Amino acid sequence: MRLPISQPLDLAATLESGQAFRWRRQGEWHYGVVGENLVALKQGLSHLEVRSSPSSPEHMETPLRNYLRLDDDLEAIYSRIGTDPVMRRAIASYRGLRLLRQDPWECLVSFICSANSNIPRISATVQALAQGYGQPLSLGDYVDYTFPTPERLAEAGEAALRALKLGFRAKYVAQVAERVARGEVRLEPLRSLPYQEAREALTSLPGVGDKVADCVLLFSLDKLEAFPVDRWVRRAVEESYLDGAKLSYKALRAWALERWGTDAGYAQQYLFHAMRLQGREKGEVV
């Protein structure tokens, strides 16, 4: 199936920019799991070629438009955030990079696993969880797995998760899985709460600090004002905008919100992607 695209989209930049961790590129195709379906995407000039299983590609059109946030008006966002040379260069380099609207549960676990780690290691950890406790899916010769439910990970427990090399993160994943499985915390309703309330609900969970909460809010719960700050974003802001001044996480977020408002999350992702790829070119661990 061909999915028409009328807005800017750089599929590779979107799927490989550190928002999600289980997309794999094979040649011109990107393979990943969206909901309960294994999908393969290939970018054309004004469309995406889509393969999927078990649902047909036609049934995946709405879920994919939702996942890729094709409802976001990127041109309007560019006009609002592209007000300085640094941001204009990032937009020009990665035009069509979009935020994702992921499943909140997988996103939460993924970023709990991101603590003191890097993208290749996070990807391996999250894939190990899926392979160990998810359900298999196949598309031609390609095999992947659904992400395990909270109930499944709660049942597995901390010791089993440590065996998957989660390290100290195993405790947090097991505890959060138990709380979500018992219904003590419901993730999907956080989408309709104001940013601060949703953030407080997430940071009440074990292993969820400011950065992890902001990642989940931005990449899965429609809080586009969220501004996750890691070493790449901090370096980009301090070097490019603050003349090297050092600010706390809270102060950096307040600065970004004042500068970019509810588009701060998009600004963050362009800064992150640009700075991280510069680090890769310099041979830094990314």
CB atoms within 10 A of CB 175: 16
Query: What value, to the nearest 5°, has the Cα angle with vertex 41 and ends 80 and 53?
Result: 130
Positions annotated as catalytic residues are 211
Residue 149's closest CA among 209, 106, 86? 106
Which residue, chain included where needed, has tokens 């830094």? 284
User: Widest CA span of the chain, in angstroms?
Assistant: 52
Torsion (CA) 280, 9, 220, 152 in degrees, nearest 10: -80
Q: What is the DSSP letter of 205?
A: S
C-alpha span between 68 and 63 (Å, rounded): 9
Residue 111's closest CA among 201, 176, 190? 176
